[in-house]
Structure 1
Amino acid sequence: MDAPAAGIWPAGGASEQECEDEGKQGAVLWSLEEALERQTLQIGASACGATAVLDVLRVLGLGEAAAEDANRCVRTRLRRNESALPDYLLSRSEAGATHAQLISGAEELSGGRVAGRFFHLHPQRRVRLGPWLARWIRRGAVPVATMNMQVAVPRGEEVPDAWHHQLMFGVAPNNAIFMANPLDVVSESEVHQRLCSESVLLIRREDVLQRFSPPCHLSSLSEGFTDPRWRTLDVEGQVRQMVLEEERGQSKMAHIVIPAAYSSGVTIFALRDSDLGRDLLTTPELPLL
Structure 2
Amino acid sequence: MEAVCEQDHGGEEEEEAMLWSIQEALERQTLQIGASACGATAVVDVLKALGVEVTPEEADRSVQTRLRRNESPLPDYLLSRSEAGATHAQLIQGAEEASKGKVIGRFFHLHPHRLVRLVSWLARWIRKVSETELHQRLCSESVLLIRREDVLQRLTPECCLSSLSDVRWKALDVEGQVKQMCREEEQEEDGAKLTHITIPAAYSSGVTLFALRQSALGQELLSAPELPLL
Q: What is the TM-score when the length of structure 2 is the normalising length?
A: 0.83
Q: RMSD of aligned C-alpha atoms? A: 2.7
Q: Could you tell me which residue of structure 2 aligns to residue 256 of structure 1?
A: 197
Report deviation, 1:87: 2.6
1:131 aligns with 2:130: no
Q: Could you tell me which residue of structure 2 aligns to residue 104 of structure 1?
A: 93
Report deviation, 1:80: 1.1
Q: Distance in 1 between matches of 2:110 and 2:7?
A: 13
Query: Is the 1:230–1:259 Cα contact (8 Å) retained in structure 2?
Result: no
1:51 aligns with 2:26: no
- Distance change >3 Å, CA 189–CA 226, structure 1 → 2: closer
Q: What is the TM-score when the length of structure 1 is the normalising length?
A: 0.67
1:277 aligns with 2:218: yes
Q: Indicate the larger mover: 239-248 or 48-57.
A: 239-248
Q: Distance in 1 between matches of 2:128 and 2:4?
A: 24
Instruction: Give the one of 171, 186, 193 matched to 2:146.
Output: 171
> Sequence identity, in percent?
58
Q: Where in structure 1 are there 5+ consecutive unaligned residues? A: 10-15, 145-166, 177-185, 201-224
The one-letter amino acid of 2:183's match is L
Report deviation, 1:28: 0.7
Report deviation, 1:99: 0.4
SS at match of 1:139: helix
Report deviation, 1:266: 0.5
Give CA deviations for 1:83-111 in whole Å, capped at 9, x if unaligned: 12333233222211110010010001111
Instruction: Give the one of 110, 113, 117 matched to 2:102.
Output: 113
Q: Distance in 2 between matches of 1:252 and 1:135?
A: 49
Count the aligned residue pairs: 218
Q: Could you tell me which residue of structure 2 aligns to residue 205 of structure 1?
A: none
Q: Distance in 1 between matches of 2:168 and 2:3?
A: 36
SS at match of 1:193: coil
